[in-house]
Amino acid sequence: MNTDRDWMNTFRPDIPSTARLYDYYLGGKDNFPADRELAERLLAEVPEIRIAARENRAFLQRAVRYLVAEAGIRQIVDVGTGLPTAGNVHEIAQKIEPGCRVVYVEGYSKPHVSEKKNSARAASYASQ
Ligand SMILES: C[S@@+](CC[C@H](N)C(=O)[O-])C[C@H]1O[C@@H](n2cnc3c(N)ncnc32)[C@H](O)[C@@H]1O
């Protein structure tokens, strides 16, 4: 597992990242020119990408609502979390059941540095 400071040695804003491309397609601000340039090139080839990203996010949120509200799940491991955005898994789950625990696992480590401070009591974070 990485430490909070490891991302400083590997952070490359000049190389597009999957997490930041996805953030761009969702309308987020955690992306850089290299990400936006590739994202736009991909959009030119496959214009449906943006809709697919939003539908994927909506599906994730519906699935979490079902698992917590209907199936009684109280512990969730979210592998491939992405960058923090509106409607994160722990926010959806804990709105229904405040005692629900969420562990995030994400290959892109930078987002967890700032988010961890705000959400340490709400969820746990790990990066690979
Ligand atoms: C398309 S985003 C999905 C984000 C979020 N789960 C959602 O559904 O809205 C995929 C994320 O998975 C991460 N990822 C890809 N391979 C991974 C791996 N082997 N381990 C952890 N995270 C990974 C990427 O960095 C990216 O942030």
What ranges do the domains of the chain cover? 3-127
Helix 49-65 to helix 18-25 angle (10° resolution) is 90
The arrangement of secondary structure in 3-127, i.e. its CATH architecture, is 3-Layer(aba) Sandwich (3.40)
DSSP 30-67: ---HHHHHHHHHHHHH-TTHHHHHHHHHHHHHHHHHII
Tens digits of residue pLDDT in 34-81: 999 999 999 999 999 999 999 999 999 999 999 999 999 999 999 999
- Whole-prediction pTM: 0.83
| CA 98 to ligand 1 center in whole angstroms | 25
| CA 45 to ligand 1 center in whole angstroms | 22
Question: For ligand 1, which residues put their CB under 6 angstroms from it?
Answer: 18-19, 22, 56-57, 60, 79-82, 105-108, 128
d(CA 87, CA 82): 12
